[in-house]
Structure 1
Amino acid sequence: MECLTSFCETHLQPHQIAPALKRHKLINPVKNLEDRMCKKHKKPLELFCRTEQMCVCQVCTVTDHKGHHTVPLKKEFGEKKAELGRTKNQMQQMIQKCLQKVKEIKHSAELSNRDAEREREESEQVFTTLVRSMQRSQAEVSKMIGEKQKATMRQAESLIKELEQEITELQRRCSELDQLSHTKDHLHLLQSSPSLCPPTSTKDWPDVSITQNESKWNVQKDISQLDKKVRRALSELEEKLNNVLEKSKGDDLKRMQQYAVDVTMDPDTAHPLIIVSGNGKLVRTGHLEQNHFYNLKRFRSRVAVLAKEGFSSGRFYYEVQVKGKTGWNVGVAKESINRKIGGLYPEQGFWTVWLSFQVDYEACTDPHTPLSLKSKPEKLGVFVDYEEGQVSFYDVDTRSHIFSFTGCTFTEKLYPYLNPFDDYDGSNSAPMIITPVNQTP
């Protein structure tokens, strides 16, 4: 190495025999041997300066790198190689985790496709049954009207025939009377006097009519009965469809729960009245302000707190228990929200729903959107799809959808947001609890 040249086996022998040359350090042939020498002192780079993370020679340790932490290259090489091995293992583990995640996402997508196909088939079956039922009812009504019309026509034809016979008889008698009216034979006229009696009829024709109204009434009655049958069938089909939709909602929530994240509330953001538990999972409102250090992250106007975890891509889901509370506000908020003053709307960076002191459930749009809920939610699920611009809320116990903000544009981190509201009279003392997400069966 000191000679800065490569030798063949014959010319290498002096370095193995001559005492002066034996002191030279020899290495296997390499390219650019000059790069292994200190540019300043022309000595082999045999040491590594950990202070400045560079290779140095022996002279450097007493000049430019005096007092620095230096070790032999071989030792640093071993440690770096071990570190590279650990880094490689970590990367391989990360690759395995990513591959596993890809596998899970593909499996989830396959399940979603199968569920969607099953729901599509079930809904098509429901609507096909409905259409067939309506077609059968229509055919029955049409047939019934046709039969009634045929019966009416037969009745009309019979009456017309009978009337025509009576007209013929009356015309015959009119002819006889006309002949008698011109006779001059007194005896003949008097003997034929019975023929002068008014004709009698077996029917009172002015009161005779075809039973059109009765027929119409009967058809309407039958239609009314069919209508009741159809309505019952529709009610049954509606119940089946609702079951399909409810099942679909349950499957929808199940898919949302696959994106569950571990949420911990950040006490540094909590309003002074808020008490955050040590594990960051429980939040309640106190009656006295806590002695917190002032910082720009802390809420000052609303009794609220943000999570430590922020999300700027993908999907995430968390659940919070609000059981026993008379007022609460739950959702997500962007990082740059005004924590001193401002509204609680999407324009200000909030996407939330609330219960306003046991009176109104509302989505905090501008203006607020009233929510008609069949039951009082005790546990809320919050789902966010960052790229799709969607924030959805669910009643976890009933697996029902509450409300969704859609078409949103997110440009910064979003944080889970809780507001337990004030507790003036002790009626709203129940805590809000971040609960573990159990996959809905």
Structure 2
Amino acid sequence: MAFSGTLTSLQQESHCPLCFDYFKDPVTIECGHNFCCDCLSACWKDLTDRFPCPVCRFNLASPNFIRNSQLSSLTQAVQQLVLRRSKRKQEEAQQAVCEPHQRALTLFCEQDLELLCAHCSFAPEHRRHNVSLVEEAAPEHRRRLESSVEPLRSKLEQVEKMIALQDTKTLELHKEAVARRKEIEAEFERVRQFLQGEQEATLRRMDEEEAEILAELNQHLTTISNYASGQNFLLKEVEGKGAVSCDVALLSSLKSIEDKRQTLGRPEPSTTMLPSTIELSGFQLKLPAQFSGLERIVQLFQVNLLFDPTSAHPQLEVSADRKSVTYLEERRRVGYSPNRFYLCLALLSQQFFYCGRHYWQVEVGAKPKWTLGACQGALPRNWRNEPDLYRGFWALGRCNSSYLVFGTQKARIVPQVRPNKVGVFLDYELGEISFYNVDDGSVLYTFHDRFTRNVWPYFYAGRDSEPLRLCPVSKRGT
């Protein structure tokens, strides 16, 4: 082991640091490092004033070097030692013997890929195997190994391409995250500016209303104070005249007192009575529809849905443009379809989704009964649109005056504004289905689940003459 380590160290010292091969015509420069003469000349080619050492970067004033004959002899000796060692290992390998039988391993088992001696080849575990001479097996397996190099290299290249593609995707993800982060920051900045403006305007209106109420109160107070002062002066005069002992003087002063009383009069109730309650108007914050996120969803993810006539109940008639469906009193004669609803006045869209984000709008108008949503796969043919829990179904609907959500969850909701149009937003990867009131931009309800199959938009039309309509796709940016 010590000899092997020493020989390895000598091999390393006998290699040129530029070509990484054994020294050929070695030379030594001023800093003490050694190189092949041709390698060093090629490295210093086109240099005129400074000649740096390729290893330590020591700058030489001139391209002078000394030929190292001793290093050349040492390199040749190391090469001879390495060659002899390699030949010795080959001879030892060729002279390998079977340990149990101490015989030369001259045979090769093709099934077990093992070297065998003549005695081993007759053992029960190898008796039925294909055994050949080492001299015959080695060239064949060498060809097989050589022929497998290209497929392995091809696979390696494919893996490297996949790694490069993954790196590209990682970079794209980072860029997208940076862009989305900037968009979110800009959106929040717009919200902040809007809220700041709303705050300033609301506080300004409150200040103005407070000033108006305060001015009115001051006016009432001034009028009442003036009336009280007059009453006080009149009271003192009456008290003074009443104390006069002379009857004539008393009676002669009555007209003057009465005139003052009439002049003073009594102020109007509207100018002296304070309001029963003093309060500011009800100020509240109302965000515009664009801050609910609906406007951005419509612009980016809206899809042009069409009704599927082959799924419609026989009493539902789909329009020629497949954008409207109407209830019929009489049952139509229709062909069989595995997706058709026979017990429920419902139908599906032509499109289904297995990934991505998608948004569509439905005009429900004043229909007393309707249901909108999505289902995973086709619903059973005996489906009745009952407001109960059902796996793989997410819906929101109206039943007369009540609004319900049902499917994987069940709840009753109370919209602030009765929806005339309802938007449905599906995020397949996130596992969300959200329902929006298009009229005020509010979120009506959001389901959270996990999608594993195709998701179909679902529609229940009800038993009234008003049609259920798919809203046309709006233009981008409008």
Tell me the distance in 1 between the aligned counterparts of 2:462 and 2:222. Answer: 78
Tell me the distance in 1 between the aligned counterparts of 2:268 and 2:323. Answer: 77
Note the C-alpha offset of 1:96.
Answer: 1.8
Aligned Cα root-mean-square deviation (Å): 5.7
Partner of 1:66: none
Q: Find the partner of 1:247 among 290, 293, 310.
A: 290
Q: Find the partner of 1:200 among 254, 265, 271.
A: 254
TM-score (norm 1): 0.54
- 1:103 matched to 2:175: yes
Tell me the distance in 1 between the aligned counterparts of 2:290 and 2:343. Answer: 42
Q: What do residues 16-72 of structure 1 show as CA deviations (whole Å, max 9, x unaligned)?
A: 9xxxx9xxxxxxxxxxxxxx995735479xxxxxxxxxxxx9969xxxxxxxxxx93
Partner of 1:351: 394
Q: Find the partner of 2:206 among 134, 138, 141.
A: 134
Tell me the distance in 2 between the aligned counterparts of 1:84 and 1:403. Answer: 53
Partner of 1:67: none
Note the C-alpha offset of 1:323.
Answer: 6.8
Partner of 1:48: none
- 1:416 matched to 2:460: no
Partner of 2:194: 122
Give the fraction of aligned pairs with identical amino acids, expressed as a percent.
Answer: 11
Report the more deviating stretch, 140-149 or 205-214: 205-214
Cα distance, 1:437–1:385 mapped onto 2, change above 3 Å = farther
Tell me the distance in 2 between the aligned counterparts of 1:322 and 1:148. Answer: 58
Unmatched segments (≥5 aa) in structure 1: 1-6, 22-35, 45-56, 61-70, 178-193, 276-280
Partner of 2:272: 216
Unmatched segments (≥5 aa) in structure 2: 1-80, 95-107, 117-128, 133-142, 317-321
**Residues 322 and 380 in structure 1, CA contact (< 8 A), matched pair in contact too:** yes
Partner of 1:317: 357
**Residues 271 and 299 in structure 1, CA contact (< 8 A), matched pair in contact too:** yes
Q: What do residues 167-193 of structure 1 show as CA deviations (whole Å, max 9, x unaligned)?
A: 434423x1x45xxxxxxxxxxxxxxxx
Q: Find the partner of 1:83 among 136, 142, 155.
A: 155
Structure 1 SS opposite 2:112: coil
Note the C-alpha offset of 1:124.
Answer: 3.6
Cα distance, 1:368–1:164 mapped onto 2, change above 3 Å = closer
Q: What do residues 381-431 of structure 1 show as CA deviations (whole Å, max 9, x unaligned)?
A: 4134876x75312467x78345223xx55255375332355799998697x
Structure 2 counterparts to residues 335-346 of structure 1, below 5 A: 340-341=382-383, 343-345=385-387
Tell me the distance in 1 between the aligned counterparts of 2:209 and 2:114. Answer: 105
Tell me the distance in 2 between the aligned counterparts of 1:255 and 1:142. Answer: 47
Tell me the distance in 1 between the aligned counterparts of 2:302 and 2:151. Answer: 37
Tell me the distance in 2 between the aligned counterparts of 1:304 and 1:197. Answer: 102
Q: Work out the number of aligned pairs and report it.
A: 340
Tell me the distance in 2 between the aligned counterparts of 1:86 and 1:151. Answer: 96
Residue type matched to 2:271 in 1?
S
- 1:40 matched to 2:112: yes
Tell me the distance in 2 between the aligned counterparts of 1:247 and 1:354. Answer: 24
Cα distance, 1:439–1:404 mapped onto 2, change above 3 Å = farther
Residue type matched to 2:186 in 1?
R
- State the structure with bigger RCO (CA 8 A, min sep 6), 1 or 2: 1
Structure 2 SS opposite 1:40: coil
Tell me the distance in 2 between the aligned counterparts of 1:157 and 1:341. Answer: 85
Tell me the distance in 1 between the aligned counterparts of 2:87 and 2:379. Answer: 78
**Residues 253 and 440 in structure 1, CA contact (< 8 A), matched pair in contact too:** no
Cα distance, 1:440–1:338 mapped onto 2, change above 3 Å = farther
